[in-house]
Structure 1
């Protein structure tokens, strides 16, 4: 099978971890861009990337690049592709557009012109045209215009890869699954300690953490990928790739714990863990983090998404101060990471973060911060080290 170029889309700040994931899966010519990583692989690898990548939102397969200065050059460029080799006149399609160009103001206009060029080509060749289906198209075409460069790709994934298939129940302001998985990878989570999400909501961090710890492919519970509707879909090859990934699943010997003070969130988190077939690894209980103490022996890895005050009405100053106090007083030997879109609120934590990483949660600029809570005080730790030297 021939290798071809693909592009994996991701969130800002995840390019490096996505590139690392691709290397580990066996991709070739991996190159980081902004919110994307390009790579080479064959059809089987395309299936594998969609099934296994945790920090990718979509996998695109580029088919043509050309210059587009106006509607004529756009129409001509789209028409220069032989669409009958990609899908037939009885199939449906849709065009998704991203535009960042002085020549084109509206993505809707670009989508319409692209659709016209495709439909006209089919009508001239076959006397009839394929249908548009926005919800369940056989082929999803991606047109991206950056200044005057137009790239046309096939969307191999379909719906964004954050639709993992396990999350049927969500709470207020749930975190996107790809964002959650990327944060866990950035935090260095590898399943070698106990894990706690003290404000777990509908349990996304818990499920993604268990999947990483057990090396379960991220999208194993997903119902469908776009490439399954393509003319060259190879069911046997897909089954083979899926089976080879499932063979690499491993056991996990620590606890993954979730707390939430809302009974509705606890029920949803338990349901989602069960949907992902991971309820044997995940323990969820109704507790207010600020009234808890570290339950587990040894080091603890903590990751959470506290409220930002955007959708939940809370006293931010007091809330973030209590986060700092609880970590300081009750969670020794813990690496605590959390993401917040409220950069002001971080000042109230009262602890110095050892790391700060800029991310976006949707359009909201956010920070992923790390607090290292030592056994005893930090000063004692360093004094002991000096005395031993």
Structure 2
């Protein structure tokens, strides 16, 4: 496919996303199935264009004064990729399978594209209804923080210390130009390609043999702040696919016991293969069974309970940009109810002196500090662990600078820490 044909395909996929209000991943998969002539690089190139457009949807439509898929794609070439007008015109040549030529109006708007004076939801590329909540979280940094959430995200890896040291992985993966992550002592950062295509790990021996795992640096930090120790009894209450379970197992050097549970057995499905590949031996998977309390034997036994709570996912907008445009106010209310229920449930598994780690990939105060405050107000015997103490226990005292100013816990974000958006709070049971 020519570069122009890829742009035309991206416009087609965007039209499908809009017309059927469906996830971009589903639309891209269907497009690939119906265009089997497209090679893997073509499919990746089309996907990169679509996700760039979704990241900058509001601002691209604003500068082009056109919210259509074509208008958004044109604007994203300017705002997300910084293409000159001449380069954009080359893609919109009207020749072969390329889109029709840019009109005089499109050329003028492209040349003069500016976000000066744009309202915050446009400059920060987020849904307008979320502005009060995001402003409560970020204050004067609202546009800076949300604009950073609209940038591309690099590929972060966590070195599995059960099998490999970071220095060895750096050398082994040198063909991908990795660099140590600045905050996590276990992380490697792989830069994205200039055209936005993600690096594929499917044939990398280090990945296939479990020496590295895909995990954003922010997620790595959240797991490290749990300060899991060898020999402890740990419950991962919302284990999902097992990313943090694997990180905890490595931190514990395969000693002690981790119980991995999730209310949805489908989310747990990938964990089995991942545990085997990573060489993890201290995890019991507690799959839910109808009518049975599969965690009853853990009451009052756990040194650590991790709640990687279901949330709005705002902190992951760099990687899932279409999710922000599909998010609705009712979803926030439902997440808050689920988060409160999980915090209440976690209480029964902790022994005296145990720790509760509450983690989200959200940056909304309602899902983070407010939930911790509500739990502490309702449950006696719990106290927040200060940021400095929690960071030192994790062996990462420098993380104290990311202490939340809105309540207990830590806040990580693309603008502040160069990671995905994460919140983590550690509570101690006295």
Asked if Structure 1 and Structure 2 have the same fold, meaning a TM-score greater than 0.5 normalized by the shorter chain, the answer is no
Point out the structure with the larger helix share.
2
Point out the structure with the larger strand share.
1
Higher Cα Rg, which structure: 1
TM-score normalised per structure 1: 0.41
